[in-house]
């Protein structure tokens, strides 16, 4: 069989594997709490808290959706016209049009154009979060974190780009197979590396001082059968008032991380409730599931790009002869941007189901629905969440159940209804 026929076979196998993984490992059987309970929960929240959350998100939307639409437009213009290929060729010309220069410097040039054009929207967002008091950063701190993000992305990008285009250069007929394997491997490696190497770039972590709360959190993890190495406190207050906690790492690197803002804003019982939710993700292996889905999705994307490269009209519009050429990077960005936009509602739905399962886990682990509900109200208040967002926005991109959904789930649990 030809490489293209094998690629079609690989595409079908990977698509089936991804579908089966999602169908089996995602908790689809957890419907949202009854709307009547959600309405009752909404009415129980202070009116000024609800108004503040809705006003904040209303102020954020122009910057968020403006950046999304402009970024998509830039990707389409650079990728579906010869402009992107010409930009990459121009950047690579001083280096003799070498494929390495085109692959790395040319790709960075394409991404830099998009980043610079959407940067005003990121600054606009910072203005909004600062005006509403959620951000504690000035412009210098915001800029430093922005540059740190670019630096981390650049390091990962160099590895990914050099690896991908080295494969396409030295294995022009079978690059899709090696590329799919490499993309899947990179997705798995990042799951292990990011918590250990990247998180410290943005936050300082200190062990939580010995005391009743640390003891209770460690005992909670032991009761749940989730071994953790330590409980750390992140200095989130240097950039935000938002409260949060999470369980980071896999295996021997796993630790409970609590924002210092959460310790200041919430009583210990609510901190325990938040951590119980995060332990639910570890208990149900949500990180491993996400890693598996990401690895399969990355491999499927590479094979899809190879098959898409047979569409001569698309290549002609982009001004390239092969989708595997470094000069076609802008076209890849355009394809990924469209695919990401189209798949966003499905990704959000999967995330909401997983988060709802973690909520149910927290309720069962603590057997304290009153504290869970109080904690959800506090999270919404301090983080300026919209407790009941517009339906279209919720369906398009909400990664968590709404505040009123989570409060209603606690009320259902208190009545003896077990999800």
Do the annotations mark residue 281 as ligand-binding?
Answer: yes
**Catalytic residue chosen out of the listed positions 37, 359, 373, 405:** 359
Q: Is 232 helix (H, G, I), strand (E, B) or coil?
A: strand
Distance of alpha carbon 339 from alpha carbon 108, whole angstroms: 21
Q: Give Cβ neighbours of residue 220 (< 8 Å, ≥ 6 apart).
A: 272, 275, 276, 279, 365
393 is catalytic: no
For helices 329-366 and 268-283, the axis angle rounded to 10 degrees is 120
What the block records as the tokens of 266 is 């919430």
Do the annotations mark residue 270 as ligand-binding?
Answer: no
Phi-psi region of 132 (alpha: psi -120 to 50; beta: other; left: phi over 0): alpha
Q: Is 225 helix (H, G, I), strand (E, B) or coil?
A: coil
Going from the C-alpha of 208 to that of each of 205, 214, 367, 417, the distances in angstroms are: 9, 7, 25, 36
CA distance from start to end of the chain? 50
**Catalytic residue chosen out of the listed positions 278, 368, 386, 405:** 278
Distance of alpha carbon 230 from alpha carbon 208, whole angstroms: 8
Residues β-bridged to residue 245: 258
359 is catalytic: yes
Do the annotations mark residue 277 as ligand-binding?
Answer: yes
Query: Residue 255: how many CB atoms within 10 A of its CB?
Result: 18
With beta carbons less than 8 A apart as the criterion, state whether 305 and 403 touch.
no
Distance of alpha carbon 10 from alpha carbon 181, whole angstroms: 11
Q: Is 55 helix (H, G, I), strand (E, B) or coil?
A: helix
Distance of alpha carbon 325 from alpha carbon 378, whole angstroms: 51
What the block records as the tokens of 21 is 């993984």
Going from the C-alpha of 262 to that of each of 46, 132, 219, 229, the distances in angstroms are: 20, 18, 19, 21
H or E element that contains 199: helix 199-202
The residue whose two tokens read 């989130």 is 236
Q: Is 305 helix (H, G, I), strand (E, B) or coil?
A: helix
Q: Give Cβ neighbours of residue 147 (< 8 Å, ≥ 6 apart).
A: none
Q: How many CA atoms lie within 13 A of 326 on its CB side?
A: 29
Please name which of 90, 94, 88 lies closest in space to residue 107, comparing C-alpha atoms.
Answer: 88
Distance of alpha carbon 387 from alpha carbon 405, whole angstroms: 9
**Residue numbers annotated as active site:** 278, 359
Enumerate the known binding-site residues: 277, 281, 355
Enumerate the known binding-site residues for Zn(2+): 277, 281, 355
């Amino acid at each position: 069989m030809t490489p293209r026929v094998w690629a079609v076979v690989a595409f079908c196998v990977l698509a089936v594997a991804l579908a089966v993984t999602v169908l089996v490992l995602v908790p689809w059987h957890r419907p949202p709490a009854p709307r009547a309970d959600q309405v009752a929960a909404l009415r129980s929240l202070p009116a000024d808290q609800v108004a503040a959350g809705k006003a904040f998100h209303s102020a954020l939307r122009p910057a968020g959706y403006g950046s999304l639409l402009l970024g998509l437009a830039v990707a389409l213009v650079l990728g579906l016209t010869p402009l992107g290929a010409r930009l990459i060729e121009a950047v690579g010309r001083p280096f003799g049009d070498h494929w390495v220069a085109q692959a790395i410097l040319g790709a960075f040039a394409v991404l830099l154009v998009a980043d610079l054009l959407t940067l005003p929207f990121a600054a606009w967002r910072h203005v909004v979060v600062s005006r509403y008091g959620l951000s504690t950063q000035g412009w210098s701190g915001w800029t430093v974190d922005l540059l740190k993000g670019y630096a981390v992305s650049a390091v990962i990008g160099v590895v990914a780009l050099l690896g991908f285009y080295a494969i396409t250069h030295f294995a022009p007929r079978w690059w899709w197979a090696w590329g799919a394997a490499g993309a899947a491997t990179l997705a798995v490696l990042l799951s292990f590396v990011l918590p250990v190497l990247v998180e410290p770039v943005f936050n300082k972590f200190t062990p939580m001082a010995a005391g009743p709360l640390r003891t209770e959190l460690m005992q909670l993890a032991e009761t749940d059968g989730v071994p953790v190495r330590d409980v750390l406190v992140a200095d989130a207050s240097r950039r935000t008032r938002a409260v949060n906690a999470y369980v980071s790492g896999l295996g021997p690197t796993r630790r409970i991380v609590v924002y210092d803002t959460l310790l200041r804003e919430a009583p210990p019982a609510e901190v325990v409730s938040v951590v119980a939710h995060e332990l639910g993700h570890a208990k149900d292996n949500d990180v491993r599931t996400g890693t598996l889905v990401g690895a399969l999705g990355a491999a499927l994307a590479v094979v899809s790009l190879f098959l898409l490269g047979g569409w001569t009209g698309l290549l002609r519009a982009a001004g390239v002869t092969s989708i595997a050429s470094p000069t076609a990077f802008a076209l890849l960005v355009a394809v990924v941007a469209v695919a990401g936009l189209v798949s966003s509602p499905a990704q959000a739905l999967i995330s909401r189901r997983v988060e709802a399962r973690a909520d149910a886990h927290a309720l069962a682990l603590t057997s304290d629905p009153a504290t869970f509900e109080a904690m959800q109200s506090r999270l919404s208040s301090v983080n300026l969440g919209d407790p009941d967002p517009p339906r279209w926005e919720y369906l398009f991109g909400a990664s968590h159940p709404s505040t009123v959904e989570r409060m209603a789930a606690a009320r259902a649990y208190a009545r003896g209804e077990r999800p």
